[in-house]
């Protein structure tokens, strides 16, 4: 049940509207997982809540063992989750029908954009200044720098929070999924 919704899944209309269903078990999501470069069949996956789902994203227990492949898998899961969530909300608010082929294209396009940014050389001017296209504070390396991403959503006295902290080498220091909190 998501935010008090007792309805069926807005993507496939054949199961209850729950987080695990939307991000893992929905026929639309399954089609994307399987058609993706990772060829994931998740029918037998032992995941029973949101925290375990996030843990699986970080340790899928198949293929991606090399660190760069693992990073790419994590990126894929983050982008896929974002696109699926937006598709679900578009279906919820506007009745837009979700198309797995189009969603996978959007996911692959967004993952490609992220990967291009990650490998793109830092633009430096003749005077040695980093060009303003990039945020300098993000690029200047500092061993003490910690970057934190937080997202939260709130409705009907229920709060959900997700937090990721990375050090200057991009190692994950903290991964928190708090859901749901009630006042
Ligand atoms: Zn569904």
- At 106-147, the pLDDT tens digits run 999 999 988 887 766 666 666 666 555 555 455 555 677 777
The answer to pTM > 0.75 is no
What distance in angstroms lies between residue 19's CA and the mean position of ligand 1's atoms? 10
What distance in angstroms lies between residue 138's CA and the mean position of ligand 1's atoms? 38
What distance in angstroms lies between residue 22's CA and the mean position of ligand 1's atoms? 6
Mean pLDDT of 2-12: 74
Quick one: pLDDT band at residue 104, thresholds 50, 70, 90? very high
What distance in angstroms lies between residue 180's CA and the mean position of ligand 1's atoms? 21
Range in 18-22, 28-32, 75-79, 150-154 the model is least confident about: 150-154
- At 163-177, the pLDDT tens digits run 788 877 777 777 777
What distance in angstroms lies between residue 10's CA and the mean position of ligand 1's atoms? 6
Q: Which residue bears the tokens 């229920």? A: 158
Alpha-carbon distance of 121 to 42, in angstroms, equals: 37
CB 22 within 8 A of CB 85: yes
Nearest to 3 by CA among 176, 132, 156, 177: 156
């Amino acid at each position: 049940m998501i935010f008090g919704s007792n309805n069926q899944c807005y993507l496939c209309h054949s199961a209850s509207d729950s987080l695990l269903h939307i991000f893992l078990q929905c026929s639309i999501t399954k089609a994307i997982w399987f058609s993706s470069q990772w060829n994931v069949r998740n029918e037998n996956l032992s995941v029973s809540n949101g925290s375990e789902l996030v843990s699986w994203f970080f340790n899928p227990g198949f293929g991606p063992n090399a660190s760069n492949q693992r990073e790419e898998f994590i990126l894929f899961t983050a982008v896929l989750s974002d696109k699926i969530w937006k598709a679900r909300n578009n279906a919820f608010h506007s009745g837009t029908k979700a198309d797995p082929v189009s969603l996978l294209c959007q996911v692959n396009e967004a993952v490609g954009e992220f990967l291009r940014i990650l490998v793109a050389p830092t633009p430096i001017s003749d005077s040695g200044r980093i060009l303003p296209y990039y945020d300098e504070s993000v690029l200047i390396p500092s061993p003490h720098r910690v970057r934190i991403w937080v997202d939260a959503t709130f409705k009907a006295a229920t709060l959900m929070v997700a937090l990721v902290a990375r050090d200057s080498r991009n190692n994950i220091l903290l991964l928190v999924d708090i859901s749901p909190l009630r006042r």
